[in-house]
Structure formats: structure tokens, C-alpha cells
Structure 1
Amino acid sequence: MFRGNVGKVRTPDGRFFNTGLPNGFFDLFGFRWQDNQAFFIEVKTSKGRIRPDQKAFHQDLMHRHAIHGIARSVDDAMKIVDEGLVGYGFPDVEEKDWY
């Protein structure tokens, strides 16, 4: 699992450096060796909200049936990865739609 550090940083000479990940890219991503599946996890607090660019990334992942979801706890993150859930925790996805 990797953490996608995103944002802009000002260099000592005054220029800005952008990390280069696309807008809306999830906080954590990784690879499940047992079935060669990538996964993506967006980490939020109990009241954290999804930004429009994160929702767009989620919708693209839904079309591809990629393992991804919102983790509001370590247990959520483990469930997404271990169970291979697609769209876990997003308001537009019902539990019956999780794979």
C-alpha cells in the first residue's frame, strides 16, 4: 500500500512543485497479490465529505469495477481490501452493489 501525497509545495527559489497525481486521486492505493487487483482508499473522518473531483474518480472506478471505497476507520480500510469491495461507503452505492 502506498500513500498518495498530493498538493503543491513552494521550493526554496520560489517556484511551485506539483506532485503530479490527478485531482481526486485517493489517499491510499495498492495491489492485492492474491488476485492481481489494484485497490484505492479515500480516508475520511466520521464527518468528512467527498469533493467533486473525488466523486468523479470514484465514478470512473465504478465503471471499471475497481476495488475502492471510503475508509472512516482502519476496519473500513481492511474490509475494502480484504473483501474486494467496489464503491464502499459512497452515498450513491448501495450495499447490495458491493462486489
Structure 2
Amino acid sequence: MESEHKIQTDIMLALSKGGFTVFRSNAGKIRTEDGRTIVLFPQGFPDLCGFRHTDGRFFCLEIKNAKGRLRPDQKLFAKFIGQYPVLYGVARSVEDAMAIVKED
């Protein structure tokens, strides 16, 4: 079974080659060397986000392997983002990701 990291890397490469700008997002907090805490994206924020070059449509992708399941905070994000005209979905492969970002 492929790791989520490998799937995510393959998706990023395919999207970049296919007319999309894609960013990897890190959620949670990190502590700097001098002890400060920096809050990144909130817990539950998807692994990848970006936009289509053709029309600027924004997308968010949660990457999971074949056995991966959404955590409660990821389910909350999915419910939240579903209220807006953002392309969102769970991708377990490059094919899944492409289908999500090419939706009308």
C-alpha cells in the first residue's frame, strides 16, 4: 500500500504539470528555537490547496491512502467548506485528485 506522502507527492507533480498551482499546507503548531509558538493552518485543514489556471477556481484536497479515514476535525472542515464554491474532496490517487479539481 502506498503511503500518503507518496500519493501526495504524485498528486502535486501531476497537478503542477496539468495547469494547476498547488500548495502543501501544514496544520497545527510549531515551536521555534527561541521558544515562540507559531500557529500554522488550523487542525483539519486539507493537505493540499491551490487553483486552476483556466478560471482561478480554488480547490482543497485531503490526501488519504487506501485505508485512511477522515479525523473528526477533517470532517468538520469538509462540512464547513461545503458551504462555499470551493472544489473539495478526499483523494486516494492522482486520478481522484484530477477528478476533483476538474469538476464544474
Question: Shared topology, TM-score over 0.5?
Answer: yes
Between structures 1 and 2, the one with greater helix share? 2
Using structure 2 for the length normalisation, give the TM-score. Answer: 0.69
Residue 43 of structure 1 pairs with residue 57 of structure 2: no
Aligned length: 83
Change (3 A) 1:47 1:13: same
| Residue 8 (structure 2) aligns with | none
| Residue 32 (structure 2) aligns with | 11
Quote how far apart the aligned CAs of 1:28 are.
Answer: 0.3
The structure 1 segments of at least 4 consecutive aligned residues displaced by more than 4 Å after TM superposition are none
Gaps of 5+ in 1: 85-98
Coordinate RMSD, CA, aligned: 1.6
Moved more, 60-69 or 43-52: 60-69
Aligned identity (percent) is: 49
Distance 2:69 2:63 in 1: 10
Flag the structure with more relative contact order, 1 or 2, with Cα contacts below 8 A and sequence separation at least 6: 2
Using structure 1 for the length normalisation, give the TM-score. Answer: 0.72
Gaps of 5+ in 2: 1-21
